[in-house]
Amino acid sequence: MPDNAQQTTSSGTTPADESPTTAHREKGPAGTPTHPLALAPVKSPPHSVDGFVAAFLGELNTTQGVQLSHSSINDQYLALAGTVRQYLMARWLETSRKTHEAKAKTVGYLSAEYLLGRQLGNALMASDLNEIAEKGLEQCGIDLATLRSQEVEPGLGNGGLGRLAACFIDSLATMNVPCIGYGIRYEYGIFRQTFVDGRQVEQPDTWLALGSPWEFPHPEESVQVNFGGHTERTVDEDGRERTTWVPAWNVLGVPYNYMVPGYLNGRVNPLRLWSAQATKAFDLSIFNAGDYAEAVRAQTFAENISKVLYPEDSTPQGKELRLQQQYFFVACSLRDFIDNELEEDFDLHNLPDRIIFQLNDTHPVIAVPELMRILMDERGFEWEEAWEVTHRCFAYTCHTLLPEALEVWSTDLLGRLLPRHLEIIYGINEHFLAEVRETFPGDELRAGRMSIITEYPDRGIRMAHLATVAATKVNGVAELHSQLLRDKVLPDFSALWPERFTNVTNGVTPRRFVKMANPKLSDVITDAIGSGWVTDLERLKELETYALDEDFLVAFREAKDWNKHRLTTLLRTRDGIDLPDGHLLDVMVKRLHEYKRQTLKLLHVVSLYEQVLSGKVAAADLTPRTVVFGAKAAPGYRMAKDIIHLINRVAHTINTDPCVEGRLKIAFPANYNVTLAEKLIPAADLSEQISLAGMEASGTGNMKFALNGALTVGTDDGANVEIRRLVGDENFFLFGMSEPQVAELGAHGYNPGEYYQRNASIRAAIDLINSGAFSDGDRGMFDSVTVSLTHHDRFMVLADFQSYVDAQAKIEEKYADQDAWTRSAVLNVARCGYFSSDRSMRDYIRNIWHTQPML
């Protein structure tokens, strides 16, 4: 806590004599407008080239303060964004008015991450402005594509979990479902990755540096968030015991609203991201005493809360700041919903009729005790009443199976930061364990296993248990994952409450990841079956008959070639990488993690190379192949960084060795992000989804590839299982152990050394790495990786190696028959309509949220 932090009252208001820096928004109409224009609906500029140009020039002149002739590209980009905003604005205001009027039940999506990707393209598409903008800008001598590439994407997430949140809010807007996305406006998003001598170096992501035209700050709607202090018991006028939290310090949460436009449907939902500020931006007393540095320190302390996204996605970082972030954004969000979205006299007993908060993993779970606190301490609810409401207001999605990724907060830390919440969590646990003991009398071992509190290694709160106890529904993100969640991660809970557990298989938005990312394929599809698939993806089924239509296959292949060409151009300018023509484009893009097994892909490449070096195979007999990697490693994850280094060193050696020139290449463009994904995925022939079975909760990249006409080589893991079932065995390359086989091997003791000894290709590939062939003769450089693979690898790479190599041989055989390959690719597209996030949203609505689309 900063020394000069401000004491606050428990109700979250600033004491009157310390004038707040912000004031709450007045409720209700600001006054009675008399001017007729103020009464008329908000107008968009005309939907025409002229209307667009006028609005654009207006933005340039009045917002950017420049003339076209003297404008920079950034000016033009900002003016274009401003223009598109003008078109969306009327719809946004109208959506908000209608939603309030209808008192519709809203989805409050609570997520610490939103990996949004660039906004401009999506906004243009959603408001049907692409052509108009292109023509209008052309008349001003401006190229739309240049302005598009000026945008720095908001990378406010690490990987799949954050991107899923972005897909879900897109779908809800498109389906006309009221939703507020709540999250954090990180000043620095996911780091920018560069490579120096093949090693990952992280640069800060200064995504706000050139201005952020998509956000609307509302400092006047700031919310105060309290931390620290202690609790006091008092007796109220009715003689009931009450608890008051007397916090020690506070910060302000400033909301920044983002538009989430539905696709061509007139709806624009809000995404509300919170930014932390010092309660008093400038502490006058300290300043007057001459301690300017101390005043600024207090400010920095507060602003740190929303400063950076934690660059982790599957291991918790027991960092106090992270817990501060979590509480910060949910406290802001609950207060915002209750104070600003509900009527003033709203009876909070009915809160579940108006909101369902979806907990995106455990990061927002502290919202549970926060709602209990609000209801009991601020609104006078009794425990049972408060619990009844709280329970019905939350649902929880788990996104992992890795035990180390399940968050546990030490009670010391939590008690210091949020003393009242810790008391409430203890209370929840007490009530919960009473229920367990009633259902399973005498089973103390079970009670211990289920307790929200763990005693080992230190006393801590198991956030997944808290979430499961609180939520109306708990879901995994693919069928296999949901089953393992029930059977292996939370079996005692599913025995107690079987009906609470459900599955919702993930999905991806077809707007961004097919229509926008792959315009050529989209045209081919639309020419064949009409444009309805964009919002009704199951209609892709109608493409099945086209898998035998020669003209269609040609058009389909042309689209793929066009995408490859586009990627080639991009990588040449972006990274100085040359993609050879005519190669099988074999793509593995995702976070770098041992369980995802980038090393398996790399060993395959090393093995191919070794066979040529040793003369076992003639280079001319290799299927020409370029393997593309894209991956960031969490900065503190040593092994992941070593693997990146190894990939880059192998790439350097192979790419410069004439003996495999034109046959084998590795491309590893740095800084894989949504923007790059949109170019890479449509170009891919082969999608690598090769995690150890039972480790990848779902995967969503796998869906994007299949929908863009790549064939998958994959294990029976996550959503791969469902993809394979839908596309058919003959259109999917399955390899490796199944989850039960993995479990069995684990139970018997996995001994990678045996595989190394028995399998000559494995031995040759590993030995080649150990020989220093990729490290200028330095034999020890990659010991960390090879020792792990051959001695104690939790993710059993060597056990699946031979099966993977066999699958690759089948892939090459099929690829040699381009017609057969293309037919399979078409069938992948045709049969993957299920993986639209619109379908995921329908599942959530039907089984979990019980909300309604608005008419």
Q: Write down the least CB distance from residue 139 to ligand NBG, Å.
A: 43
Using only C-alpha atoms, the chain has a radius of gyration, in whole angstroms, of 28
Of 618, 686, 661, 679, nearest in space to 828 by CA: 686
Residue number, 406 or 428, with CB nearest to ligand NBG: 406
Instruction: Tell me which residues in 220-279 interact with ligand NBG (CB under 6 A).
Output: none
Virtual CA dihedral for 158, 390, 398, 187, nearest 10 degrees? 0
> Does the annotation count 700 as an active-site position?
yes
Instruction: Tell me which residues in 59-98 interact with ligand NBG (CB under 6 A).
Output: none
Q: Which amino acid is at 7?
A: Q
Residue number, 313 or 678, with CB nearest to ligand NBG: 313
Q: Determine which residue in the list 82, 117, 160, 253 makes contact with ligand NBG, applying CB under 6 A.
A: 160
Q: Write down the least CB distance from residue 157 to ligand NBG, Å.
A: 9
Binding-site residue total for ligand NBG (CB under 6 A)?
18
Q: Write down the least CB distance from residue 199 to ligand NBG, Å.
A: 24
Q: Determine which residue in the list 60, 164, 646, 768 makes contact with ligand NBG, applying CB under 6 A.
A: 164
Virtual CA dihedral for 659, 597, 514, 314, nearest 10 degrees? -140
Residue 183 touches ligand NBG, criterion: CB under 6 A: no
> Does the annotation count 541 as an active-site position?
no
Q: Determine which residue in the list 99, 506, 653, 675 makes contact with ligand NBG, applying CB under 6 A.
A: 506
Per-residue contact track with ligand NBG, 449 to 488, x per CB under 6 A?
Answer: ----------------------------x-----------
| Greatest extent of the chain over all pairs of C-alpha atoms, in Å | 91
Q: Write down the least CB distance from residue 718 to ligand NBG, Å.
A: 5
Residue 187 touches ligand NBG, criterion: CB under 6 A: no
Residue number, 494 or 698, with CB nearest to ligand NBG: 698
Task: Give CA–CA dist 786/231, Å, rounded.
Answer: 54
> Does the annotation count 307 as an active-site position?
no
Catalytic hit among 185, 192, 363, 399: 399
Q: Write down the least CB distance from residue 397 to ligand NBG, Å.
A: 7
Say if CB 768 and CB 606 are below 8 A apart: yes
Residue 313 touches ligand NBG, criterion: CB under 6 A: yes
Residue number, 5 or 480, with CB nearest to ligand NBG: 480
Residue 170 touches ligand NBG, criterion: CB under 6 A: no
Backbone angles phi, psi at 604, to 5 degrees: -60, -45
Task: Give CA–CA dist 517/678, Å, rounded.
Answer: 5
Backbone angles phi, psi at 222, to 5 degrees: -60, 155
Q: Position of tokens 């192998």?
A: 650
Catalytic hit among 280, 322, 500, 590: 590
Catalytic hit among 596, 601, 724, 823: 596
Of 289, 327, 480, nearest in space to 413 by CA: 327
Virtual CA dihedral for 185, 186, 190, 196, nearest 10 degrees? 140
Residue number, 314 or 390, with CB nearest to ligand NBG: 314
Residue number, 161 or 251, with CB nearest to ligand NBG: 161
Of 338, 219, 207, nearest in space to 275 by CA: 219
Helix (H) or strand (E) holding 79: helix 73-102
Residue number, 400 or 790, with CB nearest to ligand NBG: 400
Task: Give CA–CA dist 793/730, Å, rounded.
Answer: 31
Task: Kindly tell me the burial class for residue 100, based on how many C-beta atoms sit within 10 Å of its own C-beta (0-12, 13-18, 19 or more).
Answer: middle
Task: Give CA–CA dist 358/108, Å, rounded.
Answer: 6
Task: Give CA–CA dist 549/543, Å, rounded.
Answer: 10
DSSP letter, residue 456:
S
Catalytic hit among 91, 267, 354, 591: 591
> Which range of residues in 158-166, 189-197, 215-223, 645-653 is near ligand NBG by CB under 6 A?
158-166
Of 734, 709, 733, nearest in space to 813 by CA: 733
Say if CB 421 and CB 330 are below 8 A apart: no
Indicate the residue whose CB is closest to ligand NBG. 160
Q: Write down the least CB distance from residue 314 to ligand NBG, Å.
A: 5
Residue number, 253 or 699, with CB nearest to ligand NBG: 699
Say if CB 752 and CB 789 are below 8 A apart: yes
Residue number, 80 or 467, with CB nearest to ligand NBG: 467
Q: Position of tokens 């700031």?
A: 222
Residue number, 248 or 402, with CB nearest to ligand NBG: 402
Residue 718 touches ligand NBG, criterion: CB under 6 A: yes
> Does the annotation count 704 as an active-site position?
yes
Q: Determine which residue in the list 159, 189, 507, 709 makes contact with ligand NBG, applying CB under 6 A.
A: 159
> Does the annotation count 590 as an active-site position?
yes
Cα distances from 751 to residues 219, 690, 733, 754, in angstroms, run 59, 20, 26, 6
Say if CB 116 and CB 154 are below 8 A apart: yes
Instruction: Tell me which residues in 675-704 interact with ligand NBG (CB under 6 A).
Output: 696-700
Which of 506-537 are b and which e, b meaning 16 or more Cβ less than 10 Å from the residue's Cβ? bbbbbbbbbbbbbbbbbebbeebbeeebbbeb
Tell me the two tokens of residue 834: 């299920």
Which ranges constitute the DSSP H helices of 459-581? 463-470, 479-484, 491-496, 510, 519-529, 550-575
> Does the annotation count 591 as an active-site position?
yes
Virtual CA dihedral for 182, 188, 189, 195, nearest 10 degrees? 180
Q: Write down the least CB distance from residue 177 to ligand NBG, Å.
A: 20
Task: Give CA–CA dist 277/473, Å, rounded.
Answer: 35
Q: Determine which residue in the list 314, 712, 761, 836 makes contact with ligand NBG, applying CB under 6 A.
A: 314
> Which range of residues in 32-40, 96-104, 154-162, 609-617 is near ligand NBG by CB under 6 A?
154-162
Say if CB 563 and CB 587 are below 8 A apart: no
The phi-psi region of residue 189 (left if phi > 0; otherwise alpha if psi is between -120 and 50; otherwise beta) is beta
Task: Give CA–CA dist 268/94, Å, rounded.
Answer: 9
Which residues neighbour 75 within 8 Å (Cβ) at sequence distance 6 or greater?
60, 64, 66
Q: Write down the least CB distance from residue 724 to ligand NBG, Å.
A: 16
> Which range of residues in 156-164, 248-256, 406-414, 460-468 is near ligand NBG by CB under 6 A?
156-164
Instruction: Tell me which residues in 387-406 interact with ligand NBG (CB under 6 A).
Output: 399-400, 405
Q: Write down the least CB distance from residue 722 to ligand NBG, Å.
A: 12
Q: Determine which residue in the list 120, 137, 161, 707 makes contact with ligand NBG, applying CB under 6 A.
A: 161
Catalytic hit among 174, 279, 390, 700: 700
Task: Give CA–CA dist 666/647, Å, rounded.
Answer: 8
Q: Write down the least CB distance from residue 593 to ligand NBG, Å.
A: 8
Instruction: Tell me which residues in 404-433 interact with ligand NBG (CB under 6 A).
Output: 405
Cα distances from 581 to residues 36, 380, 619, 654, in angstroms, run 63, 70, 17, 17
Residue number, 280 or 486, with CB nearest to ligand NBG: 486
Q: Write down the least CB distance from residue 119 to ligand NBG, Å.
A: 21
Residue number, 163 or 649, with CB nearest to ligand NBG: 163
Tell me the two tokens of residue 423: 């008391």
Residue number, 157 or 709, with CB nearest to ligand NBG: 157
Catalytic hit among 704, 823, 831, 839: 704
Determine how β-strand 215-217 pairs with β-strand 249-261. antiparallel
Write out the residues near ligand NBG by the rule CB under 6 A: 159-161, 164, 313-314, 361, 399-400, 405, 477, 506, 696-700, 718
Residues noted as catalytic: 399, 590-591, 596, 700, 704
